[in-house]
Amino acid sequence: MADHAPRYAVFFAPAAGSAHDALGSHWIGRNARSGEMLAQPRIHGIAPDRFAELTASPRRYGLHATLKPPFRLRTGADVAQLDARLRTLASMHKAFSFGVEVAPLDGFLAWRATDHHAQLGDLAAHCVADLDVLREPPSAAELARRRTAGLSLRQDALLLRWGYPYVFEEYRFHITLSERLAGDEAALLRQALTQSCGDLGGSPLVFDALALFVQETESAPFRHLRSYGFDGSVCAIEDMPR
């Protein structure tokens, strides 16, 4: 399959209209459901253009935590099959909630779970394994790009089998909120984000749906297409690509 074919991903996304959704979407500067570009907060000590650079990747992907990493549909698979599998997959899970905090992860700022929640890892593993039958294997170029991160032997084995090195026991739930940071910029952004999150009052995130995202072309941002509720409901934000 050509590298220019659409890529799909199954993410966790904070509920539309929730405090986490509003704060996180404004922080990265885009709403992945509407596609609207949003005004970002002013950060003391960092110019607006620089702050936009430091949130470029999160803005491109939209506010999310990865469950099934981005993939292209294999030859013979279609979006109707993906939709059907997601409906079934969502119906097998029950809603739960968990707290998050601002914390660094490999040099990035992210929202991370405050405690160990086995359900997060179990649900991500279920998404990775159950949807894999629809996945086109990564190209040689994609494999080479992933390997520039310096993978362990286990991570490389996961990459070859599942198309992504950070799955199953290597999985860490997180909602990325910056590029890789260093020095004063890291300290300033962490302080600003932590202060902003104080307005959330420690409210938990509710995990009650799977979010399907799509990237139509390699240079396009990811868009939130549908949410598959654990109660059997499906919220279609826009039509599925064909």
Residue 200 is predicted with a pLDDT of: 87
Residue 31 is predicted with a pLDDT of: 97
Residue 4 is predicted with a pLDDT of: 77
Residue 199 is predicted with a pLDDT of: 82
Could you list the mean pLDDT of each consecutive 10-residue stretch along the chain, which spans 242 residues?
Answer: 82 96 97 96 96 98 98 96 97 96 95 92 97 96 93 97 97 97 95 92 93 95 97 88 70
Strand ranges in the chain using DSSP code E only, listed in sequence order: 7-12, 65-71, 96-98, 100-105, 108-113, 175-176, 205-207, 209-215, 223-229, 234-236
Give the domain ranges of the chain: 7-236
Q: What are phi and psi of 182, to 5 degrees?
A: -155, 155
Total Cβ atoms within 10 A of residue 152? 10
- Residue 38 burial (CB < 10 Å; 0-12/13-18/19+)? middle
Instruction: Supply the pTM of this predicted model.
Output: 0.95
Q: How far apart are the C-alpha atoms of 79 and 201, rounded to whole Å?
A: 39
Residue 196 is predicted with a pLDDT of: 93
Residue 211 is predicted with a pLDDT of: 98
8 A C-beta contact, residue 14 and residue 20 = yes
Residue 237 is predicted with a pLDDT of: 83
Residue 3 is predicted with a pLDDT of: 61
Q: Which residues touch 60 (CB under 8 Å, ≥6 apart)?
A: 221, 222
Total Cβ atoms within 10 A of residue 169? 9
Residue 233 is predicted with a pLDDT of: 95
8 A C-beta contact, residue 210 and residue 228 = yes
Residue 165 is predicted with a pLDDT of: 97
Tokens of 150: 């310096």
Residue 198 is predicted with a pLDDT of: 87
CATH 3.30.465.10 fits 7-236, yes or no: no
